[in-house]
Amino acid sequence: MPQLHLYVSDEVAETAKAKAKAAGKSLSSYLADLVVSEVAGEWPEGFFEEVAGGWKGDPLERPKQGRLDRRDREPAIRRSVC
């Protein structure tokens, strides 16, 4: 697997270290996850199971939809060109 090297300010490095620690990951693993999520364009692992498929309540049902009101179209607004 290729390795990437980058340079950031001391402040950015310290913030990244703190966020990695809060996430319970090594700095390398934390940064690799960031790169993958930004570059690869993939959904995070378990996303659909946790979010989209994670509803635990009663099944959702969409009620019948009424008919839309018929509305007159507004006249076009003319703009003068100066």
Q: Please give the structure tokens belonging to residue 47.
A: 């996303």
Does the residue 16 lie in any domain? Answer: yes
Does the residue 15 lie in any domain? Answer: yes
Q: What end-to-end distance do the CA atoms of the chain give, in Å?
A: 62
Does the residue 27 lie in any domain? Answer: yes
pTM exceeding 0.85: no
Residue 75 pLDDT exceeds 80: no
Total domains present in the chain: 1
Does the residue 82 lie in any domain? Answer: no
Does the residue 35 lie in any domain? Answer: yes
pLDDT, tens digit (0-9, with 9 covering 90-100), for 16-53? 999 999 999 999 999 998 888 888 777 777 777 777 66
For residues 20 and 27, is the Cβ–Cβ distance under 8 A?
Answer: yes
Does the residue 76 lie in any domain? Answer: no
Does the residue 43 lie in any domain? Answer: yes
For 21, the domain range is 10-52
